[in-house]
Structure 1
Amino acid sequence: MSVLAGARSLTAITEWIGDVPAWACRVLGFPTDPLSGTVSVPHPHTLRRLLVQLDGDALDRAIGAFLTARTTPACPGLRAIAVDGKALRGSRTATTPYVTLLAAMDHTGHVLAQRQVADKSNE
Protein backbone atom coordinates (compact mmCIF):
# COMPACT_ATOMS: atom_id res chain seq x y z
CA MET A 1 0.00 0.00 0.00
CA SER A 2 2.88 2.35 0.73
CA VAL A 3 4.23 1.96 -2.81
CA LEU A 4 0.78 2.78 -4.19
CA ALA A 5 0.91 5.90 -2.02
CA GLY A 6 4.22 6.94 -3.63
CA ALA A 7 6.93 5.38 -1.45
CA ARG A 8 10.04 4.68 -3.54
CA SER A 9 12.47 3.20 -0.98
CA LEU A 10 12.49 0.98 2.07
CA THR A 11 13.01 4.05 4.24
CA ALA A 12 10.01 5.75 2.61
CA ILE A 13 7.94 2.60 3.15
CA THR A 14 8.90 2.58 6.83
CA GLU A 15 8.07 6.29 7.15
CA TRP A 16 4.71 5.67 5.48
CA ILE A 17 3.97 2.88 7.95
CA GLY A 18 4.91 5.24 10.79
CA ASP A 19 2.44 7.86 9.51
CA VAL A 20 -0.48 5.48 8.99
CA PRO A 21 -3.19 5.57 11.66
CA ALA A 22 -2.77 2.94 14.38
CA TRP A 23 -6.01 1.18 13.35
CA ALA A 24 -4.63 0.59 9.83
CA CYS A 25 -1.36 -0.83 11.18
CA ARG A 26 -3.33 -3.17 13.43
CA VAL A 27 -5.35 -4.36 10.42
CA LEU A 28 -2.07 -4.96 8.55
CA GLY A 29 -0.87 -7.09 11.47
CA PHE A 30 1.73 -4.83 13.10
CA PRO A 31 1.93 -5.24 16.88
CA THR A 32 0.96 -2.41 19.23
CA ASP A 33 2.63 -1.59 22.50
CA PRO A 34 0.18 -2.62 25.25
CA LEU A 35 1.13 0.35 27.47
CA SER A 36 1.29 3.23 25.02
CA GLY A 37 -0.91 1.90 22.20
CA THR A 38 1.71 2.91 19.62
CA VAL A 39 2.52 0.66 16.68
CA SER A 40 5.96 -0.92 16.48
CA VAL A 41 7.17 -0.04 12.99
CA PRO A 42 9.68 -2.49 11.51
CA HIS A 43 13.19 -1.33 10.67
CA PRO A 44 13.97 -0.88 6.93
CA HIS A 45 16.39 -3.86 7.08
CA THR A 46 13.58 -6.06 8.41
CA LEU A 47 11.33 -4.99 5.53
CA ARG A 48 14.12 -5.69 3.04
CA ARG A 49 14.61 -9.23 4.39
CA LEU A 50 10.85 -9.81 4.15
CA LEU A 51 10.52 -8.46 0.60
CA VAL A 52 13.46 -10.53 -0.67
CA GLN A 53 11.75 -13.71 0.56
CA LEU A 54 8.36 -13.00 -1.09
CA ASP A 55 7.28 -14.80 -4.25
CA GLY A 56 6.71 -11.88 -6.63
CA ASP A 57 4.28 -13.76 -8.88
CA ALA A 58 2.18 -14.92 -5.91
CA LEU A 59 2.12 -11.37 -4.54
CA ASP A 60 1.04 -10.03 -7.96
CA ARG A 61 -1.78 -12.59 -8.15
CA ALA A 62 -2.97 -11.77 -4.62
CA ILE A 63 -2.95 -8.00 -5.23
CA GLY A 64 -4.56 -8.47 -8.65
CA ALA A 65 -7.33 -10.63 -7.20
CA PHE A 66 -7.91 -8.10 -4.42
CA LEU A 67 -8.18 -5.19 -6.87
CA THR A 68 -10.26 -7.16 -9.39
CA ALA A 69 -12.80 -8.01 -6.71
CA ARG A 70 -13.26 -4.30 -6.02
CA THR A 71 -13.59 -2.97 -9.57
CA THR A 72 -16.52 -2.87 -11.92
CA PRO A 73 -16.26 -2.76 -15.70
CA ALA A 74 -16.35 0.81 -17.06
CA CYS A 75 -18.57 -0.11 -19.99
CA PRO A 76 -19.80 -3.30 -21.62
CA GLY A 77 -18.30 -4.47 -24.90
CA LEU A 78 -14.78 -4.39 -26.25
CA ARG A 79 -11.92 -2.75 -24.42
CA ALA A 80 -8.36 -1.96 -25.44
CA ILE A 81 -5.52 -3.67 -23.62
CA ALA A 82 -1.86 -2.63 -23.76
CA VAL A 83 0.97 -5.10 -23.07
CA ASP A 84 4.45 -3.86 -22.24
CA GLY A 85 7.59 -4.94 -20.43
CA LYS A 86 9.48 -2.86 -17.90
CA ALA A 87 12.84 -3.24 -16.18
CA LEU A 88 12.44 -2.37 -12.50
CA ARG A 89 14.90 0.18 -11.15
CA GLY A 90 16.77 -0.94 -8.05
CA SER A 91 15.80 -4.60 -8.48
CA ARG A 92 19.27 -6.05 -9.06
CA THR A 93 19.81 -9.56 -7.71
CA ALA A 94 22.89 -11.74 -7.39
CA THR A 95 22.22 -13.24 -10.84
CA THR A 96 20.52 -10.44 -12.82
CA PRO A 97 21.15 -6.72 -13.31
CA TYR A 98 17.40 -6.03 -12.99
CA VAL A 99 14.01 -7.73 -12.77
CA THR A 100 11.78 -7.46 -15.83
CA LEU A 101 7.98 -7.52 -15.66
CA LEU A 102 5.51 -8.01 -18.48
CA ALA A 103 2.15 -6.39 -17.75
CA ALA A 104 -1.24 -6.10 -19.43
CA MET A 105 -3.19 -2.92 -18.66
CA ASP A 106 -6.49 -1.54 -19.87
CA HIS A 107 -6.87 2.09 -20.88
CA THR A 108 -8.53 3.05 -17.62
CA GLY A 109 -5.24 2.35 -15.82
CA HIS A 110 -6.09 -1.03 -14.28
CA VAL A 111 -3.33 -3.66 -14.41
CA LEU A 112 -5.05 -6.84 -15.56
CA ALA A 113 -2.09 -9.19 -15.20
CA GLN A 114 1.61 -8.94 -14.51
CA ARG A 115 4.33 -11.57 -14.66
CA GLN A 116 8.07 -11.60 -14.15
CA VAL A 117 9.90 -12.58 -17.36
CA ALA A 118 13.45 -13.83 -17.77
CA ASP A 119 14.74 -11.02 -19.99
CA LYS A 120 13.50 -7.83 -21.58
CA SER A 121 14.94 -8.74 -24.99
CA ASN A 122 12.00 -10.93 -26.05
CA GLU A 123 8.97 -10.29 -23.84
Structure 2
Amino acid sequence: MLLTCCCAVLTGARSIRSIGQWARAEGPFGSRRALSTSTSTVQRLVCRVCSGGLVYLLGCDPEGADQVAVDGKAARGSRTATGPAARLISALTTAGGTVSQARVPVKTTGVTTLPALLAPFDITGVTVTGDALHTTADQARFLVEDKKAHYVMTVKLNQKTLFDTLRRLPWQDITAEHVSRGSGHRRRETRAVRVLTVTDLGLGFPTWSKPRVSTGGGEQRRREKSPVRPCT
Protein backbone atom coordinates (compact mmCIF):
# COMPACT_ATOMS: atom_id res chain seq x y z
CA MET A 1 0.00 0.00 0.00
CA LEU A 2 2.84 2.40 0.84
CA LEU A 3 4.52 1.69 -2.51
CA THR A 4 1.19 2.33 -4.20
CA CYS A 5 1.07 5.77 -2.54
CA CYS A 6 4.59 6.52 -3.79
CA CYS A 7 3.69 5.44 -7.32
CA ALA A 8 0.63 7.68 -7.24
CA VAL A 9 2.74 10.67 -6.21
CA LEU A 10 5.26 9.97 -8.98
CA THR A 11 2.43 10.01 -11.53
CA GLY A 12 1.21 13.41 -10.37
CA ALA A 13 -1.11 12.81 -7.40
CA ARG A 14 -0.89 15.79 -5.04
CA SER A 15 -3.47 15.01 -2.36
CA ILE A 16 -4.71 12.14 -0.21
CA ARG A 17 -7.88 11.94 -2.28
CA SER A 18 -6.04 11.79 -5.60
CA ILE A 19 -3.77 9.01 -4.26
CA GLY A 20 -6.84 6.99 -3.29
CA GLN A 21 -8.38 7.55 -6.72
CA TRP A 22 -5.19 6.43 -8.47
CA ALA A 23 -4.96 3.31 -6.28
CA ARG A 24 -8.55 2.31 -7.07
CA ALA A 25 -8.08 2.94 -10.80
CA GLU A 26 -4.62 1.46 -11.37
CA GLY A 27 -4.23 -1.10 -8.62
CA PRO A 28 -1.05 -1.85 -6.63
CA PHE A 29 2.29 -1.24 -8.37
CA GLY A 30 0.59 -0.14 -11.58
CA SER A 31 -1.26 -3.44 -12.18
CA ARG A 32 -4.73 -3.42 -13.72
CA ARG A 33 -6.32 -5.04 -10.64
CA ALA A 34 -8.16 -2.34 -8.72
CA LEU A 35 -7.11 -1.81 -5.12
CA SER A 36 -10.07 -1.50 -2.77
CA THR A 37 -9.12 1.36 -0.46
CA SER A 38 -10.52 4.59 0.89
CA THR A 39 -9.24 8.11 1.40
CA SER A 40 -9.27 7.62 5.19
CA THR A 41 -7.11 4.48 4.84
CA VAL A 42 -4.53 6.38 2.81
CA GLN A 43 -4.62 9.22 5.36
CA ARG A 44 -4.00 6.88 8.31
CA LEU A 45 -1.19 5.04 6.53
CA VAL A 46 0.68 8.20 5.53
CA CYS A 47 0.31 9.75 9.00
CA ARG A 48 1.61 6.60 10.71
CA VAL A 49 4.60 6.15 8.42
CA CYS A 50 5.56 9.83 8.00
CA SER A 51 5.20 12.02 11.05
CA GLY A 52 5.01 15.05 8.75
CA GLY A 53 2.28 13.55 6.60
CA LEU A 54 2.05 13.70 2.81
CA VAL A 55 4.31 16.74 2.63
CA TYR A 56 7.34 14.45 3.09
CA LEU A 57 6.63 13.26 -0.45
CA LEU A 58 5.63 16.63 -1.90
CA GLY A 59 7.83 19.21 -0.12
CA CYS A 60 9.32 22.08 -2.15
CA ASP A 61 12.60 23.98 -1.73
CA PRO A 62 12.11 27.48 -0.23
CA GLU A 63 15.38 28.84 -1.65
CA GLY A 64 14.63 32.01 -3.60
CA ALA A 65 11.13 32.42 -2.19
CA ASP A 66 10.11 35.85 -0.93
CA GLN A 67 8.21 34.58 2.08
CA VAL A 68 7.57 31.44 4.10
CA ALA A 69 4.58 31.25 6.45
CA VAL A 70 4.61 28.96 9.48
CA ASP A 71 1.37 27.70 10.98
CA GLY A 72 -0.01 24.72 12.88
CA LYS A 73 -3.06 22.47 12.69
CA ALA A 74 -4.46 19.17 13.91
CA ALA A 75 -4.17 16.28 11.45
CA ARG A 76 -7.59 15.15 10.33
CA GLY A 77 -8.35 11.51 11.15
CA SER A 78 -5.34 11.10 13.46
CA ARG A 79 -7.24 10.93 16.75
CA THR A 80 -7.32 7.47 18.36
CA ALA A 81 -9.15 5.90 21.26
CA THR A 82 -6.06 6.25 23.43
CA GLY A 83 -4.54 9.51 22.22
CA PRO A 84 -5.36 12.99 20.93
CA ALA A 85 -5.12 14.10 17.32
CA ALA A 86 -1.62 14.68 15.98
CA ARG A 87 -0.66 18.36 15.89
CA LEU A 88 1.42 19.40 12.89
CA ILE A 89 3.40 22.55 12.18
CA SER A 90 3.91 23.46 8.53
CA ALA A 91 5.99 25.92 6.50
CA LEU A 92 4.46 27.13 3.24
CA THR A 93 5.56 29.49 0.46
CA THR A 94 3.37 32.30 -0.89
CA ALA A 95 2.93 30.23 -4.06
CA GLY A 96 1.14 27.58 -2.00
CA GLY A 97 3.92 25.01 -1.91
CA THR A 98 4.58 23.18 1.35
CA VAL A 99 8.23 23.35 2.34
CA SER A 100 8.16 21.02 5.33
CA GLN A 101 5.92 19.67 8.02
CA ALA A 102 6.68 18.17 11.42
CA ARG A 103 4.67 16.63 14.20
CA VAL A 104 4.59 18.59 17.44
CA PRO A 105 5.59 16.32 20.35
CA VAL A 106 2.90 15.60 22.91
CA LYS A 107 2.76 18.07 25.83
CA THR A 108 4.81 20.65 23.93
CA THR A 109 4.00 23.56 21.64
CA GLY A 110 4.97 24.44 18.11
CA VAL A 111 7.58 26.85 19.47
CA THR A 112 10.00 24.01 20.14
CA THR A 113 9.42 22.51 16.69
CA LEU A 114 10.11 25.55 14.47
CA PRO A 115 13.95 25.29 14.47
CA ALA A 116 13.85 21.62 13.47
CA LEU A 117 11.27 22.42 10.79
CA LEU A 118 13.42 24.99 8.97
CA ALA A 119 16.94 23.83 9.90
CA PRO A 120 17.53 21.64 6.78
CA PHE A 121 16.73 24.46 4.34
CA ASP A 122 18.58 27.48 2.98
CA ILE A 123 16.25 30.42 3.73
CA THR A 124 18.83 33.20 3.44
CA GLY A 125 17.01 36.45 2.73
CA VAL A 126 13.56 34.85 3.07
CA THR A 127 10.98 36.55 5.30
CA VAL A 128 9.43 34.06 7.73
CA THR A 129 6.02 34.91 9.16
CA GLY A 130 4.29 33.33 12.13
CA ASP A 131 1.46 33.87 14.57
CA ALA A 132 1.77 35.09 18.16
CA LEU A 133 2.84 31.65 19.39
CA HIS A 134 6.22 32.03 17.66
CA THR A 135 6.94 35.57 18.88
CA THR A 136 9.92 34.84 21.11
CA ALA A 137 13.47 36.20 21.14
CA ASP A 138 14.89 32.68 20.70
CA GLN A 139 12.91 32.12 17.51
CA ALA A 140 13.96 35.50 16.15
CA ARG A 141 17.63 34.83 16.90
CA PHE A 142 17.42 31.42 15.22
CA LEU A 143 16.00 32.98 12.05
CA VAL A 144 18.35 35.98 11.89
CA GLU A 145 21.61 34.64 13.28
CA ASP A 146 21.49 30.96 12.29
CA LYS A 147 19.46 31.06 9.06
CA LYS A 148 20.21 34.63 7.87
CA ALA A 149 16.51 35.19 7.28
CA HIS A 150 14.07 37.98 8.17
CA TYR A 151 10.95 37.68 10.28
CA VAL A 152 7.48 39.15 10.74
CA MET A 153 5.90 38.21 14.07
CA THR A 154 2.56 39.07 15.63
CA VAL A 155 2.42 40.45 19.16
CA LYS A 156 -0.69 39.84 21.25
CA LEU A 157 -1.62 39.86 24.92
CA ASN A 158 0.00 36.49 25.58
CA GLN A 159 3.23 38.58 25.55
CA LYS A 160 1.91 41.32 27.82
CA THR A 161 5.20 43.12 28.52
CA LEU A 162 6.09 43.20 24.85
CA PHE A 163 2.57 44.23 23.86
CA ASP A 164 2.50 47.09 26.38
CA THR A 165 5.95 48.29 25.29
CA LEU A 166 4.86 48.49 21.67
CA ARG A 167 1.58 50.10 22.54
CA ARG A 168 3.31 52.95 24.36
CA LEU A 169 5.14 53.99 21.18
CA PRO A 170 3.82 57.24 19.59
CA TRP A 171 1.54 55.62 17.04
CA GLN A 172 -0.84 58.59 17.12
CA ASP A 173 1.87 60.72 15.47
CA ILE A 174 2.32 58.32 12.55
CA THR A 175 0.38 58.57 9.29
CA ALA A 176 -1.21 55.31 8.18
CA GLU A 177 0.69 53.69 5.30
CA HIS A 178 -2.21 51.50 4.27
CA VAL A 179 -5.96 51.57 4.89
CA SER A 180 -8.37 48.82 3.83
CA ARG A 181 -12.09 48.41 4.25
CA GLY A 182 -14.08 45.22 3.97
CA SER A 183 -17.00 43.25 5.29
CA GLY A 184 -17.55 39.72 6.51
CA HIS A 185 -18.92 37.69 9.40
CA ARG A 186 -21.81 40.17 9.71
CA ARG A 187 -19.65 43.22 10.28
CA ARG A 188 -17.92 46.00 8.35
CA GLU A 189 -14.33 46.65 9.27
CA THR A 190 -11.65 49.26 8.54
CA ARG A 191 -7.95 48.44 9.06
CA ALA A 192 -5.09 50.93 9.17
CA VAL A 193 -1.40 50.00 9.17
CA ARG A 194 1.25 52.27 10.71
CA VAL A 195 5.02 51.64 10.74
CA LEU A 196 7.45 53.19 13.20
CA THR A 197 11.26 52.88 13.19
CA VAL A 198 12.95 52.54 16.60
CA THR A 199 16.57 52.01 17.58
CA ASP A 200 16.40 49.70 20.59
CA LEU A 201 13.59 48.50 22.84
CA GLY A 202 15.91 46.35 24.97
CA LEU A 203 13.75 43.25 24.56
CA GLY A 204 16.32 40.87 23.07
CA PHE A 205 14.95 40.69 19.51
CA PRO A 206 17.81 40.87 16.98
CA THR A 207 17.79 43.57 14.27
CA TRP A 208 14.38 44.74 15.37
CA SER A 209 13.84 48.25 14.07
CA LYS A 210 10.38 48.50 12.49
CA PRO A 211 7.43 47.62 14.69
CA ARG A 212 4.13 47.88 12.86
CA VAL A 213 0.73 48.39 14.38
CA SER A 214 -2.45 47.29 12.65
CA THR A 215 -5.71 48.53 14.11
CA GLY A 216 -9.14 47.68 12.90
CA GLY A 217 -12.57 48.86 13.96
CA GLY A 218 -16.03 47.83 12.83
CA GLU A 219 -19.63 48.35 13.76
CA GLN A 220 -19.72 45.25 15.95
CA ARG A 221 -16.10 44.53 16.82
CA ARG A 222 -12.74 46.26 17.32
CA ARG A 223 -9.32 44.61 17.18
CA GLU A 224 -5.78 45.76 17.92
CA LYS A 225 -2.53 43.91 17.39
CA SER A 226 1.13 44.72 16.78
CA PRO A 227 3.00 42.54 14.28
CA VAL A 228 6.74 43.05 14.06
CA ARG A 229 8.45 43.83 10.77
CA PRO A 230 12.06 42.81 10.13
CA CYS A 231 15.08 45.03 9.73
CA THR A 232 16.78 44.40 6.39
Name the TM-score, length of structure 1 as normaliser.
0.53
User: 1:29 is paired with a residue of what secondary structure?
Assistant: helix
User: Match for residue 118 of structure 1?
Assistant: 105
User: Match for residue 62 of structure 1?
Assistant: 57
Aligned identity (percent) is 25
User: Match for residue 131 of structure 2?
Assistant: none
Offset at residue 79 of structure 1 (A): 1.1
Offset at residue 29 of structure 1 (A): 1.0
User: 1:56 is paired with a residue of what secondary structure?
Assistant: coil
1:17 aligns with 2:22: yes
Query: C-alpha distance in 2, partners of 1:53/1:102?
Result: 16
Greater relative contact order (Cα 8 A, min sep 6): structure 1 or 2?
1
CA contact (8 A) 1:86 1:120 kept: no
Query: C-alpha distance in 1, partners of 2:23/2:89?
Result: 32
User: Match for residue 140 of structure 2?
Assistant: none
User: Match for residue 92 of structure 2?
Assistant: 105
Query: C-alpha distance in 2, partners of 1:112/1:29?
Result: 27
Which is richer in strand? 2
CA contact (8 A) 1:30 1:40 kept: no
Query: C-alpha distance in 2, partners of 1:53/1:99?
Result: 10
Offset at residue 89 of structure 1 (A): 2.4
RMSD: 4.0
Name the TM-score, length of structure 2 as normaliser.
0.32
Q: Structure 1 residues 85 and 106 mapped into 2: Cα distance closer, same or farther (>3 Å)? A: same
CA contact (8 A) 2:24 2:34 kept: no
Query: C-alpha distance in 2, partners of 1:58/1:84?
Result: 15
AA aligned to 1:42 is: S
CA contact (8 A) 1:103 1:112 kept: yes
Runs of 5+ unmatched residues, structure 1: 33-38
Q: Structure 1 residues 60 and 30 mapped into 2: Cα distance closer, same or farther (>3 Å)? A: same
User: Match for residue 29 of structure 2?
Assistant: 29
Which is richer in helix? 1
Offset at residue 112 of structure 1 (A): 0.8
Query: C-alpha distance in 1, partners of 2:31/2:51?
Result: 25
Offset at residue 101 of structure 1 (A): 0.7
User: 1:62 is paired with a residue of what secondary structure?
Assistant: helix
CA contact (8 A) 2:53 2:101 kept: no
AA aligned to 2:67 is: A
AA aligned to 1:89 is: R
CA contact (8 A) 2:52 2:103 kept: yes
